[in-house]
Structure 1
Amino acid sequence: MPKTEHWQWYAEEFAPTERHEHAVEELLAAGRSQFQQYAVLRTPVFGKMLVLDGDTQSSQGDERIYHESLVHPAMAAADALSEVLILGGGEGATLREALRHPGVARCTMVDIDGEVVELCKRHLPEWGAGAWDDPRARVIIGDALRFLREDHDRYDVIISDLTEPLPDSPSWPLFNGAVFRDIKARLSEGGVYVLQASTAAFHNMALHVKMARTLRNYFTYVRSYFAYVPAFDTAWAFLACSDAVDVQALSGERIARHVAELRGENFYYDEETHRRLFALPLYLRRALAEKGEVFS
């Protein structure tokens, strides 16, 4: 009897020669917003999954691996946490993680796709876990590029949870020198800019390396790190950037203090995990050291 007989399957095309497949128990929602296609699926292994333009964004089973890795190294490193800015993050989980720290006085989230934000509130309430209703949350439905140009506030931590800067992506205009200068202008002294930065396996690291190479032209410290996210079935990378602090070099005591101050328990990130996140394999260290193409 074929193993696939009782399932429908969601096939994510990672590349022309690579596909990842997930069995589907239920299709909870599907459609197209002004900006992208969306679907919310229920799967037997990972629970609910958010899919945008055919790409898995997060899953109920392991989204905390991704979101804790994105948010907490930067927040542990920053001199202050009063003002946090999130670019993207429509699921609400990045907002949730930032607001777990009592030192955050205000967390501003800017996402262009209000329809997907409402979809996530309705179908993925576990991701936000009450963050949408936190009085410290300021959620703006709008263009992150315009926000960066028009906003005059300063932020202790800026978190970019946007899609990868590919030519067919809405995030493409947000990855260039003018935007990085705007981000630096919004960053407080002692602040940290962190972003999701594509994949870091031996066969799919080219975009991450190009992103890191570009950001080194704008920040004193640019550190790559990654976590294996099972729902993505690959190593997912991030970049921590600052002129004031080397996020990789944080002491275990500082990380442990940050984690202890968070509301609720972490699933993934602590001082030991921090060391693992920044322990890059030789192939990636070699690639990051090479000269090559950058974003203009």
Structure 2
Amino acid sequence: MFSRVDPPLLFHPTPGAAYGFPGARRVAHVDSPHQRIEVWDTPQLGLLFTLDARPMTSVGDEFVYHECMVHPAALAHPAPLKALVLGGGDGGAARQLLAHPSIERIVVAELDAAVVSMAREHLTDVHQGALDDARVQLVIGDAARFVATTTERFDLVVFDLTPPDSPAAELYTSAFYARLKAALTPRAMLSMHLGSAQFHLERAAALVRGLRASFAMVDVMSAFVPLYGSLWLMALASDTLDAASLFKHDIEERLAARGIDALRYYDAALHPGLFALPRGVRGGLR
């Protein structure tokens, strides 16, 4: 009898590049109406999941991505009450948002119910119960439709979506930003991941240009995320808030006032450094 051999776990950020995780074992997979979802157990990062063969989240390093996507924006706001997560069915962004005591409500607008089911079964270490918190509402379906029809106003928006060359493409457009602004409070801020500084710099630059055409202030951050195999770029956009202008002591005071002291990556000392991009990256984003 032959033992089962899983396909190699290789990711292709561009057609001419590949990286992967030797020894990965596939533990679950499902073809939903929207995409192929796979869960892998890896020696390097523990459990991780992919959508249509793209890396999404791993237990071993999700805190790098989720802490950077949430806390710089949330701390720039004096007291965020409502947050909207576009995508985010793994619950990681919601978990980080719940650390802010002023948060009263989080809407997670996730396209695919199968992603939420997968997270509940396999990624408890990522969401840590956030998906079942009374302050969190799961809205399954088209996030663009939710934004177009909601009467709520949000202080924070997290774009925790697949990249622009995916079914989420409509949510990376000026038309969507215009609709989204109607659902924002005057002091709102959004965070968006832009992609790899090494492999997706042109795409990231196009996203930044689109944000700058729609918002008064746009700043770019970077952090190395092992699952993504690269320095990863993220943007903050607002008409009124400027997270990049906050000093170390500002962040220290706000973290202390909110009782947030259990983060694994982000803190006051790191905050200014997130916005210190390598010179070549800065040039490529112009």
Q: With the length of structure 2 as denominator, give the TM-score of the two structures.
A: 0.94
The yes-or-no answer on 1:187 pairing with 2:191 is no
Deviation string 1:100-156 (CA, Å, 9 cap, x unpaired) is 111101111100100111111111111110111211111111110000100011111
Which residue number in structure 2 is paired with residue 248 of structure 1?
A: 244
Which of the residues 205, 212, 215 maps onto 2:208?
212
| CA pair 235-262 structure 1, distance change in 2 beyond 3 A | farther
The yes-or-no answer on 1:228 pairing with 2:227 is no
Q: Which moved more, 1:258-267 or 1:275-284?
A: 258-267
Which residue number in structure 2 is paired with residue 258 of structure 1?
A: 254
> Which amino acid in 2 is paired with 1:215?
L
The yes-or-no answer on 1:52 pairing with 2:51 is yes
Q: Kindly state the Cα deviation for residue 25 of structure 1 after the two structures are TM-superposed.
A: 4.5
Q: Distance between the aligned counterparts of 1:259 and 1:49, measured in 2?
A: 29
Query: Any conservation in 2 of the 1:79–1:191 contact (CA below 8 Å)?
Result: no
Deviation string 1:74-93 (CA, Å, 9 cap, x unpaired) is 00101331111111001110
Q: CA RMSD in A?
A: 1.5
Q: Kindly state the Cα deviation for residue 272 of structure 1 after the two structures are TM-superposed.
A: 1.6
Count of residues paired in the alignment: 281
> Which amino acid in 1 is paired with 2:143?
A
| CA pair 181-226 structure 1, distance change in 2 beyond 3 A | same
Q: Kindly state the Cα deviation for residue 257 of structure 1 after the two structures are TM-superposed.
A: 2.9
Q: Kindly state the Cα deviation for residue 26 of structure 1 after the two structures are TM-superposed.
A: 2.8
Deviation string 1:164-195 (CA, Å, 9 cap, x unpaired) is 111xx111111212210111111111111111
> Which amino acid in 2 is paired with 1:128?
H
Which residue number in structure 2 is paired with residue 144 of structure 1?
A: 143
Matched-pair identity in %: 32
Which residue number in structure 1 is paired with residue 76 of structure 2?
A: 77
Q: Distance between the aligned counterparts of 1:128 and 1:45, measured in 2?
A: 20
Runs of 4+ that moved beyond 4 A: none
Query: Any conservation in 1 of the 2:9–2:24 contact (CA below 8 Å)?
Result: no
> Which amino acid in 1 is paired with 2:73?
A
Which of the residues 267, 270, 273 maps onto 1:276?
273
Q: Kindly state the Cα deviation for residue 8 of structure 1 after the two structures are TM-superposed.
A: 6.1
Which residue number in structure 2 is paired with residue 117 of structure 1?
A: 116
* 3-state SS of 1:231 partner: helix
Query: Any conservation in 1 of the 2:10–2:19 contact (CA below 8 Å)?
Result: yes
Query: Any conservation in 2 of the 1:24–1:41 contact (CA below 8 Å)?
Result: no
Which residue number in structure 1 is paired with residue 196 of structure 2?
A: 199
* 3-state SS of 1:74 partner: helix
Q: Kindly state the Cα deviation for residue 262 of structure 1 after the two structures are TM-superposed.
A: 4.6
Q: Kindly state the Cα deviation for residue 7 of structure 1 after the two structures are TM-superposed.
A: 8.7
Which residue number in structure 1 is paired with residue 37 of structure 2?
A: 38
> Which amino acid in 1 is paired with 2:15?
P
Query: Any conservation in 2 of the 1:8–1:23 contact (CA below 8 Å)?
Result: no
Query: Any conservation in 2 of the 1:76–1:254 contact (CA below 8 Å)?
Result: no
Q: Which runs of 5+ in 1 are unaligned?
A: 1-5, 290-296
Deviation string 1:7-62 (CA, Å, 9 cap, x unpaired) is 96311112111111112343210121111111100011111111111111111111
Q: Distance between the aligned counterparts of 1:287 and 1:235, measured in 2?
A: 14
| CA pair 52-277 structure 1, distance change in 2 beyond 3 A | same
Q: Which runs of 5+ in 2 are unaligned?
A: none
Q: Distance between the aligned counterparts of 1:134 and 1:61, measured in 2?
A: 23
The yes-or-no answer on 1:173 pairing with 2:152 is no
The yes-or-no answer on 1:63 pairing with 2:59 is no
